[in-house]
Every structure is written in structure tokens, then in C-alpha cells.
Amino acid sequence: MKKFCVKILALMLVLVMVLPLAACGNDPDPVKNPVDPSALFHALLEQVKYDTTLEDAGTSAAYIFEDLPEYALVTMYSGSAYYADELVWITLATAGDVEQAMASVEKHLEQVHNQFLSYIPEEVDKIDNAQIWNEGINIIVCVTNDYENAAQIIKNAHLLEGNGTQNTQDNTQEVTTTEEPTEEQTTEE
């Protein structure tokens, strides 16, 4: 009887130790850290390859997305008229504005698609594969041939470090790209 009690006690101890480990298994809905849109935007700007140098569109970006809800802020980096590459960050006043803003983004991408289809059809593939991210009041759109890398950066966005304090209005930032400098650009430097 004493051996039987020891076995039962040992079995109970094993269960007590194993059951908590089973509770720590795969969580079907893991809680992810909220995405810092500034860190995501800058990661896309710095880690994605663009076919041209992207430059800050400044205040003219708001005119490109004229159907955006009131009080929406737009930060846009785009290339020359010969390339469809662009990176856009839209910050909305409320989450209720997302549907209207997404419609504006889709309209913009459709217009750009149709424009490039007419005169530089090689650019259409990157527009058709534009990466669009939305969380809360933020929307980020990335148009590039490096869309698989952009998609991976967006997928891993919750892992990005950053606290949202980066300045997105810095007009002096240049992006390293795969474009070779022209003779005119090299003489200016």
C-alpha cells in the first residue's frame, strides 16, 4: 500500500508540473505589439529598393489624394514621372475615416495604373502589387518592384523598434536606390 501511495503521489507531482507547461502552448490568437507607423514608414523608406530616388512630395501630396477625409495628413515620397515608385503615409482624424481613405488610395492606384499603362507599361506590375497596410488611423502604401521585401517588412512590422519620434517631414533625406546617377547628377555633386 505504501508503494501504491508513493506512485500516486509521484503521478500527481508529474501532472502538476506538466499541466502548466501545456497551458503555455501555442496561443491561437497571440497578442502582437501595436505597430509604430513612423517606424514602419521609415523601414519601408530605408530597406526597400526603389528604381529611382524618392523625394518628399511636400504639401502637393494632399492634392494627389483629393478625396481624402477632412483633416487627413499625407506624407508622400515619390520618384520622377518615369517611375511609379512611391511611399505614402496617410494619418486620419478618426478610425471612421478609413473606408473613405482606402477608397481614395484605390482610386489613386487605379489612376496611376492607367497613366503608366498608356506610356510606360513596364511600371504597371509594381502598381498592381502595391503593398497597403492599415492599422487604426494610419494607412501606408508602398509601390515598388521590391514588393516582396515590402510585404515582409509590413508582415514583421510589430517587431520593428521605434517610438514614433522620427521626423517624417525631413525634406533632406535621400533614399539609396538601384538607379545609376546621370552625368548631370555627377557633375552637380
Q: Is residue 126's pLDDT more than 70?
A: yes
Q: For residue 182, what pLDDT is reported?
A: 43
Find, among 117, 175, 177, the residue nearest to 146 by Cα: 177
Q: What is the DSSP string of 22-69?
A: HHTS--SSPPPPPP-HHHHHHHHHHHS--SS--EE-GGGHHHHTTTSP
Question: Can you tell me the mean pLDDT for 46-69?
Answer: 93
Q: What is the pLDDT of residue 3?
A: 72
Does residue 17 register a pLDDT over 80? Answer: no
Task: Please tell me the predicted confidence (pLDDT) of residue 66.
Answer: 83
- The predicted structure's pLDDT at residue 180: 41
pLDDT at res. 161: 59
- Whether the CB-CB separation of 39 and 165 falls below 8 Å is answered with no
pTM over 0.75: no
pLDDT exceeds 60 at position 162: no
Residue 34 has what pLDDT?
85
Nearest to 43 by CA among 149, 170, 165, 177: 149
Which residues are registered as beta bridge partners of 89?
A: 75, 140
Is pLDDT of 47 > 60?
A: yes
- Give 101's pLDDT tier (boundaries 50, 70, 90): very high
Whole-number mean pLDDT of the chain? 80
For residue 16, what pLDDT is reported?
58
Q: Name residue, grid cell 508602398.
A: 142
